[in-house]
Structure 1
Amino acid sequence: MSDQETKPAGRGKVIVYIVIRVLVIAVMIAQIFNHNWDNVFTCALTLILLLLPSFLSSKMHIVLPNTLEIIIICFIFAAEILGEVREYYVLFDRWDDMLHTLNGFLAAAIGFAMIDILNRHEKVSMNLSPAFVAMVAFCFSMTIGVLWEFFEWSMDMFFGKDMQKDTWLTAFNSVALNPEGANVPVHVDVESVTVNGQVWDKYLDIGLYDTMHDLFVNFLGAVTFSIFGLVYIKNRGKGFAARFIPTLRQDKKERSSKSA
C-alpha cells in the first residue's frame, strides 16, 4: 500500500479518535450534572476501552489496519455510549443485532490473524491449510460470542441487570404442560398471563430468545469473515479481508528472523 493511500487513512483514524473521545467526555459531563453515576462509570470505561487498540498494538508488536482500528473505535462507542447511555438498545430493535454481527466479524478477523501469524512464523513449525485457518477463526469468534453471553447472564443473575433482553411470545411448545406427563411437547397459544395481579396478553421469555438470536447473528458475522479470510490467504495479503487482519510489525519480523 502506498504512502498516498495510508496517510489519508491515518489522518482519518486520528480524526475519528479525537471526535469519539470529545463526544464521550461531553456525554460524561452531562451525566455528572444529571447525577447518573452508572452512566458516568460507563463513559469512564469507554475512555479506557478506546486505549486498547493502541495498547495491544504496542505490547503485542502487531499492526492494526486503519480500517479495523476505526471500526473497533466506532464499535466501542456504539455499544457503550449509544447503546447503553443513549438507550439505542431500546430505541432501535436491530441495534443489538448489528453489534453482535459486527462482533462476530471482528472476532473472526482477530482469531484469523493470530493463527496466520503463527502459521508464518519461522520459529513455529506449523503449515496449516487455508481452510483450517478459516475454521479456527470461525471457532474463535463463536467462543468469544459464547463467553460474552456468559457475561451477560452473570450480570443479570448476580448484579440485577437486564443485558439479556426479554422477548414477548404469543405461543410456545412445552413438555412440562403435557397433561399426560409424557415427553411430548404440547402447543400453547397464550391468551393471558397473570403476574402479581397484572394481566399480560403475551408470555415474557427472559433472555433465551435474545441469547440464541445474538449467537446466530454472531455466527453470520464469523462465517462471512472466514470466507473473506480464506480468499485472503489464497491470494496472500490481497482482497477485502486485508483491511481487517492485523499483521506482525516489520521490525518484530526482522528480530525474529535474526534470532532464529
Structure 2
Amino acid sequence: ESWINRIELTIALVLQVGILIVTVGALVERQWLGAFSGSIVLLLTFAPALIERHLRVPLPVELTLITSVFLYASFALGEARDFYEKIWWWDLALHGVAALTIGIIGFLSIYVFYMTHRIQIAAGWIATITFALAVSLGTIWEIFEFLMDWNFGLNMQKSGLVDTMTDLMINAAGAAIAAVIGYFYVHGNDGLYGRRIIRAVIDRQAKT
C-alpha cells in the first residue's frame, strides 16, 4: 500500500499548491480578505500532520488527502471560482463531508486511547462524543460565517437563517454517519465501515 500512499500524498501536495497559487493571485490583486482566507485554508491543510505530531495520534494518509480535497473545493473552487453560486448543492455537500471527516478524526483520536487501554469507555459513549465533536465544530463554523458577514459585509450565510439551519442539519447528518461508523467498528463489524482508514491507524499505532 506504500505506492497508494505516495499517490495520495502527491495529490494532496498538488491541491496545496493550487490553494497557494490562488492565495498569491489574491495577494497580487490586492484582495486582502481573499489572501487572508487562502492563508488560513493553506495552514488548515496541514492540520492532520499537526494533530499527529502534537497529540501523538497516528492518522492515515487518507485523512490528509480528504482534508486537502475539502479545503481546495471550499476555497479554490467554492470561493475563487464561485461554485457556491453556480452549483446549488456545493455548500451542502462540503458541510456534509466536513462533518463526516471531523467525526472520523474525532473517533480515531478517541479509539487510539481506547485501544491502548488509556481510557475505559463504552462504544455508545465513543459514538456520542464523536457526534458531539463534529456538531460542535460545525456550529462554531456557522458562528464564524455570521461574524464574517457582520463585520466584513460578506455573504457567507447566503439566505441567512434558512442557510444556517440547513447547514446545521447536514452537519448533524454527517456527524451521525461518523458516529455510526465508529460504533459498529468498536463492535467488530469493521468489514462494513471504513476498514482501511481505521486499520491504518491501528497498524501505525502498533508500530510506535
TM-score if structure 1 supplies the norm length?
0.70
Gap change, CA 1:59 and 1:28, over 3 Å in 2: same
Partner residue in 2 for 1:41:
36
Distance in 2 between residues matched to 1:229 and 1:123, nearest whole Å: 18
- Give unpaired runs (5+ residues) of structure 2: none
Q: Deviations over 1:161-217 (max 9, x none)?
A: 222111xxxxxxxxxxxxxxxxxxxxxxxxxxxxxxxxxxxxxxxx11001100111
2: CA distance, partners of 1:243 / 1:151: 33
Match of 1:20 in 2: 15
Taking every aligned residue pair, what percent have the same amino acid on both sides? 28
CA contact 2:9–2:65 (8 Å) conserved in 1 = no
Instruction: Pick closer, same or farther for the CA change 1:25–1:104 going to 2, 3 Å.
Output: closer
**Are 2:132 and 1:139 aligned?**
yes
Specify whether residues 238 and 62 from structure 1 end up closer, same or farther in structure 2 by C-alpha distance, changes over 3 A only.
farther
CA distance in 2, matches of 1:228, 1:116: 12
Distance, in Å, in 1 between the alignment partners of 2:79 and 2:7 is 26
Whole-Å Cα distance in 2 between the matches of residues 229 and 115 of structure 1?
10
**Match for 1:209 among 162, 166, 173?**
162
The residue aligned with 2:54 is: 59
Higher strand share: 1
User: Superposition pairs for residues 144-163 of structure 1, below 5 Å?
Assistant: 144-163=137-156
Instruction: State yes or no: 1:220 paired with 2:176.
Output: no
Partners of 2:143 and 2:169 in 1: how far apart? 15
- Residue 187 of structure 2 is matched in structure 1 by 234
Between the aligned partners of 1:84 and 1:13, the Cα distance in structure 2 is 24
Q: CA deviation at 1:119?
A: 2.5
CA gap of 1:93–1:50, structure 2 versus 1, over 3 A, is: same
Structure 2: which amino acid aligns with 1:107?
I
How many Å apart are 1:36 and its aligned residue?
2.5
Task: Read off the aligned partner of 1:25 and give its amino acid letter.
Answer: L
- CA distance in 1 between partners of 2:32 and 2:81 (Å): 14
Whether contact under 8 Å (1:67, 1:243) holds in the other structure is no
Q: Distance in 2 between matches of 1:216 and 1:123?
A: 33
Unaligned runs of 5+ in 1: 167-206, 253-260
Q: Residue 180 of structure 1 corresponds to which residue in structure 2?
A: none
Q: Which has the larger radius of gyration?
A: 1
Per the alignment, do residues 213 and 123 of structure 1 end up closer, same or farther by CA in structure 2, a change over 3 Å counting?
closer
Residue in 1 that maps onto 2:66 = 71
Matches within 5 A, 1:240-259: 240-245=193-198, 246=201, 249-250=205-206, 252=208
Tell me the SS of whatever aligns to 2:194.
helix
Tell whether the 8 Å contact from 1:106 to 1:244 is kept in structure 2 after alignment. no
Instruction: Tell me how large the CA RMSD over aligned residues is.
Output: 2.2
Distance 1:236 1:57, change over 3 A: farther
Q: Which residue in 2 is equivalent to 1:95?
A: 90
**Deviations, residues 57-116 of structure 1 (Å, cap 9, x unaligned):** 122222212222211111111112211222211111111000111111112112222332
| Corresponding position of 2:106 | 111
